[in-house]
């Protein structure tokens, strides 16, 4: 089994990386581009169904920083 | 007074800190490895700059879970002075010893240059040999030094006079142009509620010898020694 934890900067946090990426997209001809946010995706493999409560705890305490980021978990 | 300089894999200002501290009368300093779990015998903890654990995941995120950090938290809870410089500041924020977080610089560049800092509160154990309004010239060297916290936290820090140093110009004016990295309210360094934990992005240990272009950093360590 696999869990994918997606970590994104909070909307209130300045994301200069996203802004620079949006500019580059415009240069490449995608002029209709709106706001771009850059986050990260963490893939975690498990031999069997993971302990979801523990996974949330780890996503909150280690994989993301709640001051600046939000996370979501997808289990495949 | 004995200073503990914490070393994580990837710390790179540990030697600078030790060397700077050894130039002060009445100070001795020793390294403490991140896998150690005791700070017995030390009077001050320095969490130095660098790239602990390669800055993987987020700056300071993995260092927070090092065995020594439990001892640093205990040391701080008992009132012991802790100073975190650059990556050390990031680690203290990740460890919740200080509020907020350090994020990517506004202009995405790694900035390595001398900046000016205005002393905003000179009544703490880290600033007591200075005066409010003093302007210090101290280098910064970071890619993720933009201080961020939500509005309520910023208001609380300001109301409680916990912003100890702020980026300013050579005349001591706090302006948007003097803000190198986009930090909220030009914040360069803050302390905790009890006033015994201080984190700052600039490197006072790199401003302790005239050969390095400034000795303005000495006042911060001197303050710690002036009990």
Q: Which of B166, B155, B217 is nearest to B189 (CA)?
A: B166
Eight-class DSSP state of B47: E
Residues of B annotated as part of the active site: 86, 203, 205
pLDDT tens series, chain A, 76 aa: 999 999 999 999 989 999 999 999 999 999 999 999 999 999 999 999 999 999 999 999 999 999 999 999 999 9
Rounded to two decimals, the pTM is: 0.95
**In chain B, what's the furthest Cα-to-Cα distance?**
45
Question: CB B58 to CB A12 under 8 A?
Answer: no
Distance to chain B for A32, nearest Cα, Å: 23
Contacts of B64 (CB under 8 A, 6+ apart): B91, B94, B95
Nearest CA in chain A to B150: A67
Contacts of B211 (CB under 8 A, 6+ apart): none
Contact residues on chain A for B94, CB-CB shorter than 8 A = 65
Contact residues on chain A for B62, CB-CB shorter than 8 A = 62
Q: What count of other Cβ atoms lies within 10 Å of the Cβ of residue B167?
A: 27
pLDDT, chain B, mean: 97
Eight-class DSSP state of B121: -
Distance to chain A for B182, nearest Cα, Å: 9
Question: CB A17 to CB B106 under 8 A?
Answer: no
pLDDT given at position A14? 87
The pair of structure tokens assigned to A66 is 């709640």
Distance to chain A for B61, nearest Cα, Å: 7
Q: What count of other Cβ atoms lies within 10 Å of the Cβ of residue A57?
A: 11
pLDDT given at position A21? 96
- The string of pLDDT tens digits covering residues B85-109 is 999 999 999 999 999 999 999 999 9
Q: Is B56 strand, coil or helix?
A: coil
- The string of pLDDT tens digits covering residues B44-98 is 999 999 999 999 999 999 999 999 999 999 999 999 999 999 999 999 999 999 9
Distance, CA of B211 to CA of B226 (rounded, Å): 25
Eight-class DSSP state of B90: H
Question: CB A67 to CB B93 under 8 A?
Answer: yes
Under-50 pLDDT residues of chain B: none
Nearest to B108 among A9, A20, A67 (CB): A20
**Do residues B120 and B157 make contact, with C-beta atoms less than 8 angstroms apart?**
no
Query: For chain A, what percentages of helix, strand and coil (3-state, to nearest 5) are there?
Result: 30, 30, 40
pLDDT given at position A56? 97
ipTM of the complex: 0.87
* CA angle at B82 for the pair B221 and B41, rounded to the nearest 5°: 90
Q: Which stretches within B129-217 are classed as H helix? A: 151-159
């Amino acid at each position: 089994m696999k869990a994918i934890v997606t970590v994104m900067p909070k909307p209130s946090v300045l994301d200069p990386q996203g802004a620079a990426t949006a500019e580059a997209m415009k240069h490449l001809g995608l002029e209709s581009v709106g706001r771009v946010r850059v986050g990260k995706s963490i893939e975690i493999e498990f031999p069997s169904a993971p302990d979801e409560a523990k996974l949330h705890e780890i996503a909150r305490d280690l994989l993301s920083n709640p001051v600046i980021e939000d996370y979501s978990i997808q289990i495949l | 007074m004995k200073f503990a300089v914490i070393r994580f894999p990837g710390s790179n200002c540990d030697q600078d800190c030790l060397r700077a501290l050894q130039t002060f009368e009445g100070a001795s300093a020793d390294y403490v490895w991140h896998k150690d779990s005791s700070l017995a015998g030390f009077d001050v903890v320095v969490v130095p700059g660098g790239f602990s654990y390669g800055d993987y995941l987020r700056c300071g995120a993995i260092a927070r879970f090092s065995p020594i950090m439990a001892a640093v938290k205990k040391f701080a809870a008992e009132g012991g002075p802790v100073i975190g410089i650059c990556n050390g500041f990031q680690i203290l924020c990740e460890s919740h010893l200080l509020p907020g977080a350090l994020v990517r610089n506004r202009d995405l560049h790694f900035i390595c240059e001398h900046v000016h800092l205005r002393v905003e509160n000179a009544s703490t154990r880290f600033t007591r040999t200075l005066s409010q309004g003093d302007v210090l010239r101290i280098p910064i060297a970071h890619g993720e030094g933009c201080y961020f916290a939500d509005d309520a936290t910023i208001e609380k820090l300001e109301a409680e006079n916990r912003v100890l140093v702020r980026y300013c110009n050579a005349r001591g004016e706090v302006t948007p142009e003097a803000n190198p990295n986009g930090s909220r309210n030009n914040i360069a360094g803050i302390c905790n509620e009890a006033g015994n934990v201080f984190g700052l992005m600039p490197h006072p240990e790199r401003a302790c010898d005239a050969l390095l272009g400034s000795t303005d950093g000495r006042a911060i360590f001197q303050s710690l020694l002036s009990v």
